[in-house]
């Protein structure tokens, strides 16, 4: 495994590998850019087929965090961690403490929080040994609440741009993944009058969505083909592949999952099919936006004057609308326009 030869490397500033034999911890912390400030990005706890796959995931997610913070106008850089292994079998208090001590050793360059496989309670445990964490129960709390709020603002920009309406009434949305973020998004869309088609690997949560939201369910293999207006991937990344694009019936793809496009070509194909794609690192920025107050209180950091959180989350709408406008004018897919805007901001 080589960091420098990974196709996801993109001149990362720092990549740390940590291990702790006693607890079985193996973790990678990738710091893409600190151009705008100390890096921030959650911790993903997951089994990977290979170590290379774990490294690539950390690098890809970390770069997306640089883009996310840059486009959200935050004085924050991009980083991300992965802990390798099945959280269901190896996650212990001792392992989370060992991990926290490593995060503390990196110091003021990076702070972390929750992601897939890590809960707010886990972050509270990590916070017992380091102050470089956000999203604790006593701080900004579960970021998925803010991610969902910000997402709904962004989805309005999608509605306006692709469907020429600002209302969710009667809009059919296919939600893939009813976890921390997906469930809250479904809740908000249902309240706004949207009709939901849902899929999750957990049958009990699907049953709950049918009961609570009057949702229709489809299998996890078929959700991307559902007869809906908007397809919202809210589970894991890489779900939009060159071969799956042709099967999508929605007119827009907008979800909270990070790195939804398996390859750049998949995004180009969406655009060729006139399916509007909302770049994930713009529409799902609510969580990181909500962590700014906590980040500014970490050791060695300066306090920052901030507009109220609700205002910062609502700004996702305007940013996305601007990206859609520019992408139409440039005749390029929205994610290409957004990436270029972000790279200019971080001096790349």
* Residue 258 lies near ligand NAI (rule: CB under 6 A): yes
Question: Judged by CB, which is closer to ligand NAI: 203, or 347?
Answer: 203
Q: Is residue 46 annotated as part of the catalytic site, yes or no?
A: no
Q: Which residues pair with 30 in a beta bridge?
A: 15, 80
Contact of 197 with 172, CB cutoff 8 Å: yes
Whether 91 contacts 118, CB under 8 Å: no
Q: Is 66 in the site for ligand NAI (CB under 6 A)?
A: no
What is the C-alpha end-to-end distance of the chain, expressed in Å? 26
Closer by beta carbon to ligand NAI, 108 or else 241: 241
Q: 93 and 125 in contact (C-beta within 8 Å)?
A: yes
Give the range of 46-54, 99-107, 139-147, 293-301 binding ligand NAI by CB under 6 A. 139-147
Rounded CA-CA distance 157/194 in Å is: 15
Residue 308 and residue 52: Cα distance in Å, rounded?
Answer: 41
Q: Which stretch binds ligand NAI (CB under 6 A): 4-12, 177-185, 306-314, 338-346?
A: 177-185
- Find the shortest distance in angstroms from Cβ 284 to ligand NAI: 4
Nearest residue to ligand NAI by CB is: 179
Measured from the CB of residue 177, what is the shortest distance to ligand NAI in angstroms?
A: 3
Burial 208-222 (b: 16+ CB within 10 A, else e): bbeeebebbbbeeee
85 binds ligand NAI, rule: CB under 6 A: no
Is 234 among the residues that bind ligand NAI (CB under 6 A)? Answer: yes
Phi, psi of 23 (to 5 degrees): -105, -10
Q: Does 180 bind ligand NAI (CB under 6 A)?
A: yes
Catalytic annotation, residues: 80
Residues interacting with ligand NAI, by CB under 6 A?
115-116, 143-144, 147, 176-182, 199-202, 205, 220, 234-237, 256-258, 284, 287
């Amino acid at each position: 495994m080589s960091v420098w030869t990974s196709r996801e490397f993109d001149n990362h500033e720092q990549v740390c590998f940590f291990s702790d034999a006693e607890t079985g911890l193996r973790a990678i912390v990738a710091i893409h850019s600190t151009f705008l400030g100390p890096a921030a990005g959650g911790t993903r706890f997951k089994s990977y087929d290979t170590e290379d796959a774990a490294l690539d995931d950390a690098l890809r997610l970390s770069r997306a965090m640089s883009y996310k913070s840059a486009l959200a106008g935050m004085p924050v850089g991009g980083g991300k961690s992965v802990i390798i292994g099945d959280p269901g079998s190896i996650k212990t208090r001792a392992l989370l403490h060992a991990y926290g001590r490593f995060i503390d050793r990196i110091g003021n360059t990076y702070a972390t929080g929750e992601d897939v496989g890590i809960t707010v309670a886990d972050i509270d445990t990590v916070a017992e040994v380091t102050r470089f964490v956000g999203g604790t129960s006593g701080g900004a709390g579960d970021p998925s609440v803010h991610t969902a709020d910000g997402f709904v603002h962004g989805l309005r920009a999608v509605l306006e741009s692709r469907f020429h309406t600002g209302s969710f009434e009667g809009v059919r949305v296919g939600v893939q993944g009813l976890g921390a973020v997906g469930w809250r998004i479904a809740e908000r869309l249902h309240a706004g009058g949207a009709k939901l088609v849902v899929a999750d690997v957990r049958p009990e949560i699907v049953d709950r969505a049918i009961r609570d939201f009057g949702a229709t369910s489809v299998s996890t293999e078929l959700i991307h083909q559902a007869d809906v207006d908007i397809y919202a991937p809210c589970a894991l990344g890489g779900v939009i592949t060159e071969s799956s694009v042709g099967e999508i019936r929605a007119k827009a793809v907008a979800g909270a999952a990070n790195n939804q496009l398996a390859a750049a070509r998949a995004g180009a194909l969406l655009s060729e099919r006139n399916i509007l794609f909302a770049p994930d690192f713009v529409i799902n920025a609510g969580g990181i936006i909500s962590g700014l107050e906590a980040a500014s209180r970490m050791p060695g950091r300066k306090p920052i004057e901030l507009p109220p959180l609700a205002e910062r989350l609502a700004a996702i709408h305007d940013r996305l609308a601007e990206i859609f406008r520019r992408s139409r004018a440039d005749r390029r897919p929205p994610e290409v326009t957004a990436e270029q805007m972000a790279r200019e901001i971080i001096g790349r």
